[in-house]
Amino acid sequence: MKRIGIFLGITFLLTWALEFALMANGGLGNSYAIAVLSAVMLMPALGVVATRLITREGFQDFGLKPHFKGNVRYYLAAWFGPALLIIFGAILYFLIFPAQFDPSMSQITAQYAAQGITLPDGSMTAIFISQLLLGIFLSPLLNIITTSGEEIGWRGYLLPKLMEHYSPRVSIVISGVIWGLWHAPIIAMGHNYGTGYPTAPWGGIVAMVIFCVVVGAFFSLLAIRTKSFLPAAIAHGSLNGMAGISLFFALGTPSPFIGPLPVGIIGGLGFIVVGILSFVRVGSKNTID
């Protein structure tokens, strides 16, 4: 438990120092916000390296080996699963709320126009298709550095350390809660859920914790089964790359707590189901049922 404490102390200290500094300088509206948030994703990996050096643990079980043999299906699930779940959630949301579905993509076209960009007829469809294909096929690879920065910490280090003391299921819940709370400052700044809703920012933080427990169960199953953080990093990259694809068709201002984004209860229903199934599949002991 000492190593877990050191890892969490270093990771949260580095992360929250950067995020509170960003909060004090314009928050997400700061021109450097994207760069800061990208750097923040590397802090868990830095926390792992620092912890291993401080405790002289070494790097033999770092989790970098992919272990492809016999595990190809888990890598395919990691690469394509999040994209399919996001698409499923968006379709379900627009079926329930058809008045918020805009096939002409007029709202996002207006955003381009507000920036002085005039698009020829049909260009918006081409942009959407290119973004969709990019998200499905390339985002897991394009995001691999930053998502590995997180997954080296959460599924590559924290989860196995917790499993030395608790069952896999308990470890998944604990690591998911920690992962969600780690996001607290950026949620308070309006990331994912905005700032103008009732119960802000605490409602958004709680929602993020629940989301991280659910998604973390899926990511944890991938990591436990392959004994590597890499498929979790791939799945994380797919999630990040596809998360906003539904906004092409959104009309008005949908509640992020509902959908069509995957952080909403309807937009994220696919993740909820898969998370529960992963939680059951991982078993109550240190084996896969």
**pLDDT per residue over 182-229, tens digit each?**
999 999 999 999 998 999 999 999 999 999 999 999 999 999 999 999
Query: What pLDDT sits at residue 95?
Result: 98
Quick one: CA torsion of 230, 236, 239, 244, rounded to 10 degrees?
-130
d(CA 255, CA 267): 10
Residue-range domain boundaries for the chain: 66-282
Identify the CA nearest to 146 among candidates 72, 275, 243, 35: 35
Query: What pLDDT sits at residue 287?
Result: 47
d(CA 261, CA 265): 9
What does the pLDDT look like over 104-138, one tens digit per residue? 998 988 888 888 777 777 788 999 999 999 999 99
Query: What pLDDT sits at residue 284?
Result: 63
Helix, strand, coil percentages for the chain (3-state, nearest 5): 70, 0, 30
Per the model's pLDDT, the better-predicted residue between 62 and 90 turns out to be 90
Identify the CA nearest to 77 among candidates 177, 256, 191, 223: 223
Query: What pLDDT sits at residue 289?
Result: 39
d(CA 82, CA 80): 6
Query: What pLDDT sits at residue 276?
Result: 97
Three-state SS for 228?
coil
Query: What pLDDT sits at residue 122?
Result: 73
What does the pLDDT look like over 247-288, one tens digit per residue? 999 998 899 999 999 999 999 999 999 999 999 999 766 544
> Residue 279 region, left (φ>0) first, then alpha (ψ -120 to 50), else beta?
alpha
Quick one: CA torsion of 268, 274, 280, 283, rounded to 10 degrees?
-110
What does the pLDDT look like over 45-70, one tens digit per residue? 999 999 999 999 988 888 888 999 99
pTM of the complete model: 0.94
Section 74-87 average pLDDT = 98
User: E-assigned strands of the chain?
Assistant: none
What does the pLDDT look like over 171-182, one tens digit per residue? 999 999 999 999
Q: Is the pLDDT of residue 89 over 90?
A: yes
**Do 234 and 78 touch, CB atoms closer than 8 A?**
yes
Chain-wide mean pLDDT for the chain? 94
State what percent of residues in the chain have pLDDT above 70: 98
Q: Is the pLDDT of residue 85 over 90?
A: yes
Query: What pLDDT sits at residue 288?
Result: 40
Query: What pLDDT sits at residue 109?
Result: 85
d(CA 287, CA 280): 12
Query: What pLDDT sits at residue 63?
Result: 82
